[in-house]
Chains A and B, each alone.
Chain A
Amino acid sequence: MSLTLGLIATVLCAAAPPQTPPIFQPGAPGQPPRVISAGESVGLSRTGFTAEDVRFMQHMLVHHAQAVAMVELLRAHGADATVRQLGERIALGQAAEMEQMRDWLAAREQPEAAADPHTGHGGHTGHGAPSDTPLMPGMLSPARMQALAAARGPAFDRLFLEGMIDHHQGALDMVDALMALPDAGEDPLLSDFLSSVVADQSAEILRMQSLLSDLNPTAEDRP
Chain B
Amino acid sequence: MIVRSLLLSSVAGVLLASAAAAQTADPRSSLSPGLRDAGQVASGLELEHSLEPAPGFFDPEAIFAPQPRRPQGEAATPAAATAEPPARPRYSPLALANSDMAVSDGRLFVGSFHGFNAYDLKAGAAPELVMSVVCPGGQGDVSVHGDLLFMSVEQNRARLDCGTAEAEGEVNADRFRGIRIFDISDLNAPRQIAAVQTCRGSHTHTQVPHPTDPNVLYLYNSATSGVRKSEELGICSDGQPGENPETALYSIDVIKVPLDAPEQAAIVSRPRIFADRETGAIAGLWRGGAAGIASQRTAQTNHCHDITVYPELNLAAGACSGNGILLDISNPEQPSRISELFDADMAYWHSATFNDAGDRIVFTDEWGGGTSARCRAEDPATWGANLIATVEDRQLKGQSFFKLPASQAASENCVAHNGNLIPVPGRDLMVQAWYQGGVSVMDFTDPARPMEIAYFDRGPLDAERLMVGGAWSAYWFNGRIYASEIARGLDVLKLVPGEHLSAAEIAAAESVRLDTINPQTQTRIVWADSPDVAQAWLDQLMRNRAIEGELASRAQSAIESWRAGQGGDASGVSEALAAAASRATGRDKTRLTELSALFGRRAA
Counting CB contacts under 8 A, is A153 at the interface?
no
Contacts of B229 in A (CB 8 A): 179
The reply to whether A33 and B189 contact each other, CB–CB distance below 8 Å, is: yes
Counting CB contacts under 8 A, is B81 at the interface?
yes
In the complex, what's the smallest C-beta–C-beta distance from B67 to chain A, in angstroms?
Answer: 8
In the complex, what's the smallest C-beta–C-beta distance from B543 to chain A, in angstroms?
Answer: 45
C-alpha gap A97/B302 in the complex (Å): 21
Counting CB contacts under 8 A, is B499 at the interface?
no
* Contact among A9, A55, A195, A203 with B189 in the assembled complex (CB-CB below 8 Å): A9
For residues 178 through 213 of chain B, which have their beta carbon under 8 Å from a beta carbon of chain A?
181-182, 186, 188-195
The reply to whether B288 and A207 contact each other, CB–CB distance below 8 Å, is: yes
Contacts of B66 in A (CB 8 A): 107, 109
C-alpha gap A116/B78 in the complex (Å): 10
- For A73-104 the 0/1 string (1 means CB < 8 A from B) is 00000000000011001001101110110110
The reply to whether B114 and A41 contact each other, CB–CB distance below 8 Å, is: yes
The reply to whether A200 and B86 contact each other, CB–CB distance below 8 Å, is: no
The reply to whether A33 and B190 contact each other, CB–CB distance below 8 Å, is: yes
Contacts of B190 in A (CB 8 A): 24, 26, 33
In the complex, what's the smallest C-beta–C-beta distance from B66 to chain A, in angstroms?
Answer: 7
- For B74-86 the 0/1 string (1 means CB < 8 A from A) is 0011111111111
The reply to whether A45 and B82 contact each other, CB–CB distance below 8 Å, is: no
In the complex, what's the smallest C-beta–C-beta distance from A53 to chain B, in angstroms?
Answer: 9
The reply to whether A96 and B11 contact each other, CB–CB distance below 8 Å, is: yes
C-alpha gap A169/B215 in the complex (Å): 47
The reply to whether B194 and A29 contact each other, CB–CB distance below 8 Å, is: yes
For residues 27 through 57 of chain A, which have their beta carbon under 8 Å from a beta carbon of chain B?
27-33, 36-42, 44-51, 54-55
* Contact among B11, B94, B170 with A189 in the assembled complex (CB-CB below 8 Å): B94
Counting CB contacts under 8 A, is A191 at the interface?
yes
The reply to whether A51 and B82 contact each other, CB–CB distance below 8 Å, is: yes
C-alpha gap A127/B484 in the complex (Å): 60
- The answer to whether residues A115 and B85 also contact, given A23-B55, A187-B92 and a CB cut-off of 8 A, is no
The reply to whether A45 and B189 contact each other, CB–CB distance below 8 Å, is: no
Contacts of B226 in A (CB 8 A): 175, 179, 194-195, 198
* Contact among A31, A182, A194 with B167 in the assembled complex (CB-CB below 8 Å): A182
- For B144-177 the 0/1 string (1 means CB < 8 A from A) is 0000000000011100111110111110000000
C-alpha gap A55/B293 in the complex (Å): 36
- The answer to whether residues A116 and B81 also contact, given A26-B182, A106-B70, A183-B167 and a CB cut-off of 8 A, is yes
The chain A residue sitting closest to B130, CB to CB, is A21
B69, B181, B182, B290: residue with the most chain A Cβ atoms closer than 10 Å: B69
C-alpha gap A108/B91 in the complex (Å): 8
The reply to whether A51 and B55 contact each other, CB–CB distance below 8 Å, is: no
- The answer to whether residues A44 and B134 also contact, given A189-B94, A191-B157, A203-B289 and a CB cut-off of 8 A, is yes
B residues with CB within 8 A of A: 2-11, 14, 54-59, 62, 65-67, 69-70, 76-86, 88-96, 113-114, 129-136, 138, 155-157, 160-164, 166-170, 181-182, 186, 188-195, 224-226, 229, 240, 263, 287-290, 293, 297, 299-300, 302
- The answer to whether residues A111 and B157 also contact, given A22-B132, A46-B90 and a CB cut-off of 8 A, is no
> What's the A-B contact tally at a CB cutoff of 8 Å?
268
The reply to whether B11 and A47 contact each other, CB–CB distance below 8 Å, is: no
- The answer to whether residues A47 and B134 also contact, given A23-B56, A26-B182, A96-B8 and a CB cut-off of 8 A, is no
Counting CB contacts under 8 A, is A181 at the interface?
yes
Interface of B is mostly: loop
- For A147-165 the 0/1 string (1 means CB < 8 A from B) is 0000000000000000000
The reply to whether B56 and A46 contact each other, CB–CB distance below 8 Å, is: no
Top 7 nearest A-B pairs (CB, nearest first) are: A196-B4, A41-B56, A203-B288, A192-B3, A38-B56, A96-B7, A186-B157
The reply to whether A46 and B85 contact each other, CB–CB distance below 8 Å, is: no
The reply to whether B7 and A200 contact each other, CB–CB distance below 8 Å, is: yes
In the complex, what's the smallest C-beta–C-beta distance from A30 to chain B, in angstroms?
Answer: 7
The reply to whether A51 and B10 contact each other, CB–CB distance below 8 Å, is: no
In the complex, what's the smallest C-beta–C-beta distance from A40 to chain B, in angstroms?
Answer: 7
A-B contact pairs, 26 of them (CB 8 A): A1-B186, A5-B188, A21-B130, A23-B55, A24-B131, A25-B133, A28-B160, A29-B193, A30-B263, A39-B56, A44-B114, A44-B136, A44-B164, A92-B11, A99-B10, A107-B66, A113-B76, A116-B81, A179-B170, A181-B170, A192-B4, A193-B4, A195-B4, A202-B300, A206-B240, A206-B287
Counting CB contacts under 8 A, is A72 at the interface?
no
The reply to whether B10 and A41 contact each other, CB–CB distance below 8 Å, is: no
* Contact among A47, A96, A116, A206 with B95 in the assembled complex (CB-CB below 8 Å): A47
Extra contacts besides A23-B56, A202-B300 (15): CB < 8 Å: A21-B54, A24-B131, A25-B133, A30-B192, A33-B191, A37-B56, A42-B96, A45-B95, A48-B85, A112-B76, A183-B168, A185-B156, A195-B4, A196-B2, A203-B289
The reply to whether A24 and B136 contact each other, CB–CB distance below 8 Å, is: no
The reply to whether B288 and A191 contact each other, CB–CB distance below 8 Å, is: no
Counting CB contacts under 8 A, is A188 at the interface?
yes
The reply to whether B224 and A85 contact each other, CB–CB distance below 8 Å, is: no
C-alpha gap A23/B57 in the complex (Å): 10
The chain A residue sitting closest to B175, CB to CB, is A186
The reply to whether A108 and B86 contact each other, CB–CB distance below 8 Å, is: yes
C-alpha gap A100/B2 in the complex (Å): 13
The reply to whether B55 and A202 contact each other, CB–CB distance below 8 Å, is: no
Counting CB contacts under 8 A, is A114 at the interface?
yes
The chain B residue sitting closest to A20, CB to CB, is B55
C-alpha gap A184/B175 in the complex (Å): 12
The chain B residue sitting closest to A182, CB to CB, is B168
The reply to whether A196 and B88 contact each other, CB–CB distance below 8 Å, is: no
The reply to whether B59 and A42 contact each other, CB–CB distance below 8 Å, is: yes
- The answer to whether residues A46 and B92 also contact, given A23-B134, A182-B168, A199-B299 and a CB cut-off of 8 A, is yes
The reply to whether B3 and A189 contact each other, CB–CB distance below 8 Å, is: yes
C-alpha gap A48/B70 in the complex (Å): 23
C-alpha gap A29/B134 in the complex (Å): 14
C-alpha gap A54/B65 in the complex (Å): 18
The chain A residue sitting closest to B159, CB to CB, is A28
- The answer to whether residues A24 and B289 also contact, given A33-B189, A182-B167, A195-B226 and a CB cut-off of 8 A, is no
* Contact among A107, A111, A181, A204 with B89 in the assembled complex (CB-CB below 8 Å): A107
The reply to whether B6 and A100 contact each other, CB–CB distance below 8 Å, is: yes
In the complex, what's the smallest C-beta–C-beta distance from B362 to chain A, in angstroms?
Answer: 25
C-alpha gap A109/B2 in the complex (Å): 24
In the complex, what's the smallest C-beta–C-beta distance from B9 to chain A, in angstroms?
Answer: 7
Counting CB contacts under 8 A, is A133 at the interface?
no
The reply to whether A199 and B4 contact each other, CB–CB distance below 8 Å, is: yes
Counting CB contacts under 8 A, is A180 at the interface?
yes
* Contact among B56, B80, B160, B224 with A29 in the assembled complex (CB-CB below 8 Å): B160
In the complex, what's the smallest C-beta–C-beta distance from A68 to chain B, in angstroms?
Answer: 13
The reply to whether A24 and B11 contact each other, CB–CB distance below 8 Å, is: no
Contacts of B156 in A (CB 8 A): 179, 184-186, 191
The reply to whether B169 and A207 contact each other, CB–CB distance below 8 Å, is: no
Contacts of B114 in A (CB 8 A): 41, 44-45
Counting CB contacts under 8 A, is A66 at the interface?
no
